[in-house]
Every structure is written in structure tokens, then in C-alpha cells.
Structure 1
């Protein structure tokens, strides 16, 4: 009896369907938000500690590095919310078929990219 084993196990050649990419991104943005929360809480703590702390945080957030962190955090939050809404709709019994699930995943990813570009343009 010959076992059917995968021929190619190179991770960079495996293509995931859009629904899988959407699910992986939802989990990844959740982890990213957890770590971003550390920086956000730290910035809040420093900014309310004194006037100098507020000016320091304000200066950091207006620098190019601060803007990248801000856009990244807002981008992760945007995708996580959109992905969460998609999952809630799926929990209600919609978009469970293969085609509609992949189409909703593609729509969420495109909407996320558009909103991230808009936020980046506004904040930069």
C-alpha cells in the first residue's frame, strides 16, 4: 500500500486560498495589536506624567518613525475589525460557501488596503 504524500513541502510555493489568508491575517493583526498596546499604554503614561513627557511623546509621534508606528497600529486595528465583522457575518450563517467566503475575504483585504492608504495619506 503506497501512501499519498505531498510532493512539495516548500512553504514559499504553497498558495493559500483567500479565506485562509484572511483568517491568518486576522490572527496576526490580533497579535500585532497586543504588542502595539504596550507602546500605546506607554505613550499615554508618559504623556500624562508631565508637560515635558507630553512634549516628548508629541515629538516622537510627529517623527517619521512615530507616523509609521501609528499607521501600522491603525492598519492592524482596521483589518482586525473588518475581519471580525466578516467572522460575525459568517457566524450568522452567511458567506459560508466556498465562493462567497473567498469573495468576502478578497473584499475585506481590498477594503483594508484602501483604508490603510487613506489613513497613511491623512496622517502623513
Structure 2
């Protein structure tokens, strides 16, 4: 059985993404995941989970990490340098908004009991990306 929780690092897809990012902690890895969240009108749950993890990493790189940010990811964040930090935040916000607007992940949460909690986490992430 996989991990599943309302926070952005509380699922197996995000955990796998973190491992991939740690192998190559560069902005292009994050940008690819963020851009995938709005390439199609409908966002797959795995694509959305990866994009939300990437958005959390962008926020953390701006000194605005969530309280449940994976501690083993901090060294990768310390070495991360954005060409344009404002552009990275804008891209991350766009991805989160696309996921909230229409995505498989949003629909899955909407069907469950923790939808309000999940949505609150995303709204808080958007605030940290300002």
C-alpha cells in the first residue's frame, strides 16, 4: 500500500520525485515538472503530485519551506541556484493554480474527507510563492 496524505510530500509519487531531484538538483528538473502541470487541459495525478513537490522546492529555495519539508532534501536546496528566482516562483504558482483548477489529483481529493485540508495546503503554498 502506498503513502497518501494531504500534504504535498505525503505520497509515493512525490517521494520518488524527491529522489530524482536529489540526483540532479538543478532548476531545469523543477521547471520540467512545473511546466507539465499546464501543458494539457487535464493534469494527471502523478504529474500534479510531481509539480506540487517541485513547487514546494521552489518555495523552500526562497526560504519559505513548509514545516513538513523533507530534511534530507535541504542539502540539495542549499546548492540550488535559479537564473531568475521571480520567474521560478511565477512558474510554480501557475502550476499550482492549474492543478487546483482542473486535475485528476484535485478530483481525487474532492471525493475524499480531507479535501478542505488538501486545498488549504495548496492555498498556503501559493502564499509562500509570492
Q: TM-score, normalised by structure 1?
A: 0.28
**Which structure: greater helix fraction?**
1
